[in-house]
Structure 1
Amino acid sequence: MRLRLIPETTTIGFLKLGKAAVFASIGAMIASVILFFALGLNYGIDFRGGTLVMAEMPEERPIGEYRDILNGLDLGQVAVTEVSSGEGGAGQTILMRVGITGDDPDAQSAVVTELRTVLDAAFPGISYLQVDNVGAKVSGELVQAGVLAVTLAILAILFYIWIRFEWQFSVAAVASLVHDVILTIGVFSLLQIEFNLSIIAAILTIVGYSLNDTVIVFDRVRENLRKYKSKPLDDLIDLSINETLSRTIMTSGTTLIALLALYFFGGSVIKGFTFAMIWGVVVGTYSSIYIASMLLVRLGLNRDGSKPTGKAGTQFADVEA
């Protein structure tokens, strides 16, 4: 007997809430843009440049004590964060950042040496878990590369969906991906979670995950367009979403179980990445059901999906993907 989380056949009217969902998403996207320009992102060392030191202390000390020592070195902006406390006899883990050190490798090495010398003297028994140094030029290039990677990924997806489906599917899919990326940027700006290269990797993964879910629904929509030539488009899309609902819940559910385990037990180093992934799975599933599907309704479709037209990507429809 197979495990079923939902009945084999469902008749949920997803698009009844479609308009409300679209208006809510537009509001959330506008809020995300405002947050980005008002608060900005909490860029990590990858994008801002500087020196990062994660160290384990033999005993717990006040955060202000570490900050005072680093400020005395006159190395620029200083940030100190407690990763884990010294409760239960365990060592206290501290994450320390200092400002941009320039692009000279010798100067960067000198900063790291100075930091370690001062910390060794102030906190005997200190253990260094991570030491990173990124110059201003490199961090600027990483920002450009990250933006370019996300942009090229979305453009490549636009081309792929255009070839595989009609242009309406392509526009709807890319709009839902842009929606996911903007909301992810917004929530990182709101919560001021560190934004680094691992978050760019998470965003690219979110794009791929959301696209996979969207394509599954679109494939079923295209099949049903051929089977039910007179069924209203709203009802046909609802039917398609219901027919793929079991797969969507199983895939999203199992992915979330793994991600939640990583978030709570994987340590602070990957916490930002796993948070982005958890958020991406939720918002990607939502956008596949509501944003992409509602846009299909608004853009209209060729009712006979088996007949390619010269005006859309379905001139390649007879080629199996």
Structure 2
Amino acid sequence: MSKLLNINIDFMRARRLAFILSAVLLLASVGSLATQGLKLGLDFTGGTLVELHYQEAPDLPQVRDQLEAAGYENFVVQNYGSSQDILVRLSQGFSPQVGEEVRSLLGDENSVELRRAEFVGAQVGEELRDQGGLGMLVSLLCVMVYVAFRFQYKFALGSVLALGHDVLLLLGFFSILRIDFDLTVLAALLAVIGYSLNDTIVVYDRIRENFRTVREGGPMKLINLSINQTLIRTTITSLTTLLVLFSLLIFGGEMIHNFALALIVGVLVGTYSSIYIAGTLLLSLKVSREDLALPVKEGVLEEDGRP
């Protein structure tokens, strides 16, 4: 156990390679977001809602396969009220015959009953999306102010850049692979922001402490030391979180599949950035001992600390 606690990996030696990797991934993400954007789910686009009642509880995966085979895309199938009732949300616009088309596709009149078919608007409108984006910008500004006050302005800039790196990579992942971006993924994105920021703050706190207490070594050595000292904590936190998330991904069903997937990607990216990106950004910003030096109280001699 003592050997595990004395880990000494030279992370900063690979900082240029990490920066190149991040730059490539960021360019791919930004390019995909600019050219094809996100594949918005029904929560953002709206569509047609069809409610069906079965004589016997249907097999939801089989229902999804039938709809997919018939050419329907971007739909959601879920139980509604009981195991015999299902809701089918379709991305296509509403028409009087769409409900009967879906019912006849899934079974005859004796086995499947059409309860209702209607148009539903997007749960997240354009105004709410704009407000959400503005809220995220304000939150990043608040983070910068807090970290600048708690640490130093270079740390504030580094934490926000690392956070922006994580968010863009997660959005790029969903854009490139054309995975539905719905409200559950948006919730996961907000959770990732909190997780990533917490991880970065833990590393930054140890960096500040070592800059003030360890007398030997330059910034690169001290940042490397700090990352190694927090590595066990970072690794255990990430692994235990991933165990839960993979369980949700495998056994949680379709409704939270994308939520769990977004969190898995976010945790992996956040762990990577807290190790390689956050510390490397401080080196690029030329952080020094003087930036974190404690102010000398009036009337106290610096040599021996006695009045």
TM-score of the aligned structures, taking structure 1 as reference length: 0.76
User: Aligned to 1:12, what secondary structure does the other structure show?
Assistant: coil
Q: 1:126 to 1:183 in 2, by over 3 A?
A: farther
Q: CA deviation at 1:228?
A: 1.8
Whether the 8 Å CA contact 1:63–1:82 is kept in 2: the answer is no
Q: CA deviation at 1:147?
A: 2.2
* CA distance in 1 between partners of 2:70 and 2:256 (Å): 24
User: Aligned to 1:244, what secondary structure does the other structure show?
Assistant: helix
Alignment of 1:192 with 2:178, yes or no, is yes
* CA distance in 2 between partners of 1:24 and 1:284 (Å): 15
Q: How does 1:88-103 map to 2 (within 5 A)?
A: 96-100=89-93
Alignment of 1:201 with 2:187, yes or no, is yes
Q: CA deviation at 1:260?
A: 0.3
Where do 5+ consecutive residues of structure 2 fail to align? Answer: 79-83, 297-307
Q: 1:229 to 1:132 in 2, by over 3 A?
A: farther
What amino acid sits opposite 2:16 in the alignment?
K
Whether the 8 Å CA contact 1:225–1:236 is kept in 2: the answer is yes
Residue in structure 2 matched with residue 313 of structure 1 by the alignment: none
Q: 1:168 to 1:308 in 2, by over 3 A?
A: farther
167-176 or 37-46: bigger deviation: 37-46
Residue in structure 2 matched with residue 275 of structure 1 by the alignment: 261
Q: How does 1:118-137 map to 2 (within 5 A)?
A: 118-122=101-105, 123=107, 124=109, 125-126=111-112, 134-135=120-121
Residue 165 of structure 1, aligned match among 151, 160, 165: 151
Whether the 8 Å CA contact 1:80–1:94 is kept in 2: the answer is no
Residue in structure 1 matched with residue 294 of structure 2 by the alignment: 307
Residue in structure 2 matched with residue 284 of structure 1 by the alignment: 270
* CA distance in 1 between partners of 2:119 and 2:8 (Å): 56
User: Aligned to 2:90, what secondary structure does the other structure show?
Assistant: strand
Residue in structure 2 matched with residue 17 of structure 1 by the alignment: 14
Alignment of 1:49 with 2:46, yes or no, is yes
Q: 1:62 to 1:134 in 2, by over 3 A?
A: closer
Q: CA deviation at 1:51?
A: 2.6
Deviations 1:18-76, CA, capped at 9 Å, x for gaps? 01101110111011111112332110112222235587756767446644xxxxxxxxx
136-145 or 266-275: bigger deviation: 136-145
Alignment of 1:37 with 2:24, yes or no, is no
Alignment of 1:8 with 2:1, yes or no, is no
What amino acid sits opposite 1:172 in the alignment?
G
Whether the 8 Å CA contact 1:41–1:188 is kept in 2: the answer is yes
Residue 126 of structure 2, aligned match among 140, 145, 166: 140
What amino acid sits opposite 1:158 in the alignment?
M
* CA distance in 2 between partners of 1:156 and 1:100 (Å): 41
* CA distance in 1 between partners of 2:263 and 2:286 (Å): 32
* CA distance in 2 between partners of 1:137 and 1:261 (Å): 28
Deviations 1:178-198, CA, capped at 9 Å, x for gaps? 000111111101111100122
What amino acid sits opposite 1:27 in the alignment?
V
* CA distance in 1 between partners of 2:29 and 2:51 (Å): 31
Q: 1:229 to 1:127 in 2, by over 3 A?
A: farther
Q: CA deviation at 1:290?
A: 1.0
Q: 1:257 to 1:241 in 2, by over 3 A?
A: same
Q: CA deviation at 1:230?
A: 4.1
TM-score of the aligned structures, taking structure 2 as reference length: 0.79
Residue in structure 2 matched with residue 74 of structure 1 by the alignment: none
151-160 or 211-220: bigger deviation: 151-160
* CA distance in 1 between partners of 2:149 and 2:31 (Å): 35
Whether the 8 Å CA contact 2:12–2:220 is kept in 1: the answer is yes
What amino acid sits opposite 2:209 in the alignment?
E
User: Aligned to 1:79, what secondary structure does the other structure show?
Assistant: coil
* CA distance in 1 between partners of 2:160 and 2:113 (Å): 47
Whether the 8 Å CA contact 1:57–1:127 is kept in 2: the answer is no
Whether the 8 Å CA contact 1:146–1:197 is kept in 2: the answer is no
Q: CA deviation at 1:146?
A: 3.4
Identity of aligned residues (%): 37
* CA distance in 2 between partners of 1:249 and 1:6 (Å): 16
Residue in structure 1 matched with residue 305 of structure 2 by the alignment: none
